[in-house]
Amino acid sequence: MEILQPVLRFPGFEDKWSNKNLGSIFTITSASRVHKNEWTESGVRFFRSSDVVSHFKGNDNTKAYISFELYESLSSKIGRVKKGDILITGGGSIGIPYLISDNEPLYFKDADLLWIKNVDKINGYFLYSFFLTESFTNYLKSISHIGTIAHYTVIQAKNTPFNFPSLEEQTKIANFLSSVDEKLNLLKEKKELLEEYKKGIMQKIFNQELRFKDDNGSDFEDWKLKRLKDFMVERNVQLPKNDKYPLMSFVANKGVTEKGDRYNREFLVNDEENKKYKQTEYGDFIYSSNNLETGSIGLNNYGSASISPVYSIFKINELCDYKFISNFFSRKEFISKMTKFRQGVMYGQWRIHEKDFLQIEENFPCLKEQTKIANFLSAIDEKIELVFNQIEDTQEYKKGLLQQMFV
């Protein structure tokens, strides 16, 4: 029989790992049903799968609660969630874990979340980390059915293969991975602080509370009211015949991005399917007339590309700095102002036609001050990008550790 052991181990540990199904070690169950009309505005936290997914992604989610009386009544029947237990999503985005970190009262939604009641011989963080491994992901794939909504049921959870070493080795692994997570959290916090700093400084700049000076230390001239059409012109150019360009997409306030699995898949524009696609170059602004909630315009900072004919392409003249304008358009204040020009009777049908977009008026600084502002904000962006890359590198490092430290 093959001896179970990981590729990477701490010194002093040589015993083979045990191999059992989760159901032979843990009690795995769900909760008693709570109806939505029983939710309250305060009380005991009530977890749904969306809460687990949001926490896993580092996002906030609108909190739900139930009363202490209902919590006491339900917990008396099924028990209380405690530190070291795992909640794991059983519907939608399945297999996403949440480690219970304390013994504070908590209840959760039936069916959507499974409850793995931990035991003393399994380290809670080690168990949590197991659900992030490739072996668990492969198990989920093996039980998934193409064409149906994915579910991870109590029975499937009980049958999940689980390899584990002694409690001492589990603790070593858990502590090490936990330290990597602490580094990740610090980097994410640093990135958030930089982003908040940029938002705050942008607000001061565009409210003209903070002004820059020229190279001689003198004040720049006052900002002047201009329409967008004064420095932007539509540039709808079809792709040259027989040339090849990567097909790209557009995301509001992010600009031109990879088009999914068609990224860098070059195609001939004289093909019937592609001949209407437009050419866009670095420094262009891509405009979507019906994406009003998150912003309709973004910078092409990718380069030469083709893009769907549903978008409009604008270029700016020599009177403006395109990096300044990119930051200008990304402001919530500008996005809010755009909504005043929208047409349509209901959400999903709102749009701002290009001619109306170009009529929007705002105060703009002179070109030299724009460049000063753009360079200042670009320096902050570079710091944010550096931290973002550190986050990605650390996540890849952890992914590699999970693959090598687990069986």
Cα angle 107-108-112, degrees, rounded to a multiple of 5:
170
* Residue 344, domain CATH: 3.90.220.20
Q: What pLDDT is attached to residue 348?
A: 52
CATH (domain of 393): 1.10.287.1120
Asked whether residue 200 falls in the same domain as residue 156, the answer is no
Do 151 and 73 share a structural domain?
yes
Q: Give yes or no: residues 288 and 401 share one domain.
A: no
Tell me, yes or no, whether 22 and 159 share the same domain. yes
- Looking at the structure, tell me whether residues 359 and 382 fall in a common domain: no
Asked if residue 3 is part of any domain, the answer here is no
Global confidence as pTM: 0.82
Q: Are residues 322 and 381 in the same domain?
A: no
pLDDT of residue 293 exceeding 90: no
Identify whether 391 is part of a domain.
yes
* 214-244 pLDDT per residue, tens: 999 999 999 999 999 999 988 876 666 656 6
Query: What was the pLDDT predicted at 147?
Result: 52
Mean pLDDT value across the chain: 86
Distances (CA, A) of 212 to 223, 260, 331: 12, 41, 19
Same domain, 385 and 405: yes
Task: Give all strands (DSSP E) within 235-299, no chain letters.
Answer: 237-238, 244-246, 248-251, 255-258, 266-268, 278-280, 285-287, 297-299
377: pLDDT confidence band, cut at 50, 70 and 90? very high
Q: Is the pLDDT of residue 300 over 80?
A: yes
Which residue, chain included where needed, has tokens 């557009």? 250
8 lies in some domain? no
pLDDT tens-digit readout, 130-183? 999 999 999 998 887 655 567 899 999 999 999 999 999 999 999 999 999 999
Separation between Cα atoms, residue 129 and residue 56, nearest integer Å: 12
Specify whether 206 is located in the same domain as 272. no
Whether the CA torsion 57, 148, 85, 51 is positive or negative: it is positive
Question: Which token pair is 209?
Answer: 């509370």
Q: Whole domain around residue 401: which residue ranges?
A: 166-212+365-407
Do 344 and 398 sit in the same domain of this protein? no
Q: What is the structure's pLDDT at 240?
A: 61
Q: Establish if 351 belongs to a structural domain.
A: yes
User: Cβ atoms within 10 A of the Cβ of 54, count?
Assistant: 14
